């Protein structure tokens, strides 16, 4: 099967070995990075991995890791299935949900891999629109408008990539209840939870008929661990997920599982740093948009690590993105998300040098 080009990945890969190198990466959707030394030093005593057996883990993940993931979401460890990043989590879910003629309701705009992965599992992508003119608000009614007799599942991403919008708790609960009556599970992608600006909200893992997807890459800022998870209270579907994973991946690395469990044991330090950087950098980004004097507009993110401003004159953003990259600043052209007049800016990974980078971007607006 020929999948559509992954424009987002192609764009970032194009500059991975740029010469001179990119000085400020605002294409990243993660929080501030960590080294192995810094991560191992967190907590009361440094982590020592030298006694880790380099064998297989269980397909669902070690009990210690599943308990740590469950604690982050207020869930039962038995509901957790460990995966190789959020991507495998979605692939596993789409695999067990696949049936002839079925479709998946997906946000538009949204993370491009959703639709490609649905296609890979022969599921039709049925988009529901997040309207710019409505502030990209995520509502149960907008999602339900895309649900039909062939819908096998619904995906909600909150906080949302690329816009930073958040679906309120009461809307999530109402949507999950409405879908439950139709026998349709609600998949809530929470990879940017719990980074919020203003009112925070708990994980959706405790809501009936919700399957949560999470990972270590975004809010937890550790993409190199390649570790994600599914939280699903449906025991029958969970058994199918574990069975599928036994074929796909056998297990995760026990070395990386121990690192992830250690990171989650110290989640307040990791998430606190990410939140502080995101708060400060979001304020700087807001000031840049204000300085554009109306040439650029945006919906201020309510959560997550990405923003999705746009040119008010409707111009294509790729020229700006190319020009910024030549000056050492990487941002993502909106056509990677089907919105050429937008630009996605990741504002939580850069600890220093942001002001200068935003001056460069602002000068090109």
What is the Cα–Cα distance from 341 to 314, expressed in whole angstroms?
Answer: 5
What distance in Å separates the CA atoms of residue 252 and residue 79, rounded to the nearest whole number?
17
Tokens standing for residue 355: 């002001």
According to the model, what pLDDT value does residue 17 have? 87
Q: Going by DSSP bridges, is the β-strand pair 310-311/306-307 parallel, antiparallel, or unpaired?
A: unpaired
Contact yes or no for 345/288 (Cβ under 8 A)? no
Strand, helix or coil at 227? coil
List per-block mean pLDDT (blocks of 10 residues) for the chain, which spans 365 residues.
91 90 95 96 91 93 97 97 96 94 97 95 96 96 96 98 97 98 98 95 97 98 97 97 95 95 97 97 96 96 98 96 96 97 97 91 92
Q: What separation in angstroms does the CA of 62 have from each of 78, 247, 320?
A: 11, 18, 46
Contact 200, 275 (CB under 8 A): no
SS3 160: coil
What is the rounded CA–CA span in Å between residue 241 and residue 230?
9
The tokens of 8 are what?
A: 């987002």
Fold of 7-36+268-364: 3.90.1150
* CATH fold of 53-267: 3.40.640
Tell me how far apart the alpha carbons of residues 270 and 287 are, in angstroms, rounded to a whole number: 26
184, two tokens? 């349709």
Give domain limits for the chain: 7-36+268-364, 53-267
The pLDDT, as a whole number, for residue 45 is 83
- Specify the pLDDT at position 70: 98
Q: How far apart are CA 250 and CA 247, in angstroms?
A: 6
CA distance 98 to 104: 9
Question: Residue ranges of the alpha helices (H) in the chain?
Answer: 7-14, 36-40, 63-73, 85-97, 113-120, 140-144, 169-180, 235-248, 254-265, 267-291, 318-326, 354-364
Q: Of 107, 119, 115, give the one whose Cα is nearest residue 143.
A: 107
Q: Pull the structure tokens for residue 48.
A: 């020592």
């Amino acid at each position: 099967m020929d999948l559509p080009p992954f424009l987002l990945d192609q764009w970032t890969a194009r500059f991975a070995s740029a010469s001179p190198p990119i000085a400020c990466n605002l294409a990243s959707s993660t929080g501030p990075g960590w080294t192995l030394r810094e991560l191992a030093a967190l907590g009361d005593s440094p982590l020592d991995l030298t006694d880790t057996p380099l064998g297989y883990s269980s397909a669902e993940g070690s009990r210690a890791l599943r308990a740590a993931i469950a604690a982050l979401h207020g869930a039962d460890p038995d509901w957790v299935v460990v995966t190789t990043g959020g991507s495998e989590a979605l692939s596993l879910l789409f695999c067990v949900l696949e049936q002839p003629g079925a479709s998946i309701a997906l946000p538009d705009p949204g993370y491009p891999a959703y639709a490609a992965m649905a296609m890979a599992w022969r599921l039709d992508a049925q988009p529901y629109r997040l309207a710019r003119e409505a502030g990209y608000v995520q509502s149960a009614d907008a999602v339900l408008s895309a649900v039909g007799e062939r819908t096998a599942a619904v995906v909600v991403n909150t906080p949302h990539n690329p816009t930073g919008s958040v679906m309120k708790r009461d809307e999530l609960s109402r949507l999950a209840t409405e879908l439950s009556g139709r026998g349709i599970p609600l998949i809530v992608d929470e990879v940017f939870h719990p980074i919020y600006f203003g009112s925070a909200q708990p994980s959706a893992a405790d809501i009936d008929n919700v399957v949560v997807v999470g990972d270590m890459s975004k809010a937890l800022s550790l993409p190199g661990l390649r570790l994600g998870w599914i939280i699903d209270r449906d025991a029958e579907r969970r058994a199918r997920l574990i069975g599928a994973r036994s074929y796909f991946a056998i297990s995760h690395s026990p070395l990386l599982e121990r690192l992830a469990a250690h990171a989650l044991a110290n989640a307040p330090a990791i998430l606190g740093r990410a939140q502080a950087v995101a708060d400060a950098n979001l304020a700087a980004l807001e000031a840049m948009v204000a300085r554009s004097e109306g040439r650029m507009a945006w919906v201020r993110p309510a959560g997550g690590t990405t923003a999705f401003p746009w040119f008010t004159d409707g111009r294509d953003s790729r020229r700006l993105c190319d020009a910024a990259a030549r000056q050492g600043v990487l941002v993502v052209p909106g056509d990677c998300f089907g919105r050429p007049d937008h630009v996605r800016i990741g504002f939580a990974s850069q600890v220093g040098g942001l002001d200068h980078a935003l001056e460069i971007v602002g000068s090109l607006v």
